[in-house]
Copies of this chain bind each other. A is one copy, B any other.
Amino acid sequence: MIGPLTIALPDWTADLVDPGRAFRSVEERMQLAIALARENVLRGSGGPFGAAVFELETGRLVGVGVNLVVGHHNSVLHAEILALMTAEQAVGSYSLRADGLPAHELVASCSPCAMCLGAALWGGVRRITTGATREEAMAFGFDEGPVFPESYRYLERRGIAFHADVLRAEAKAVLELYQDQGGMVYNG
Give residues in A with beta carbon < 8 Å to B: 1-9, 13-14, 17, 19, 61-64, 69-70, 72-76, 81, 84-95, 113-119, 121-124, 143, 145-148, 150-151, 154-155, 158, 186-187
Secondary structure at the A interface, as helix, strand, loop or mixed, is mixed
Oligomeric state, in copies: 2
A74 in contact with B85 (CB, 8 Å): yes
Judge whether B76 and A122 touch: CB under 8 Å. Answer: yes
Contacts of A118 in B (CB 8 A): 113-118, 145-146
Once the chains bind, are A70 and B94 in contact (CB under 8 Å)? Answer: yes
Most buried by B among A13, A69, A89: A89
| CB-based nearest B residue for A9 | B2
B86 and A2 within 8 A (CB): yes
For A70, the chain B residues whose CB sits under 8 A away are: 94
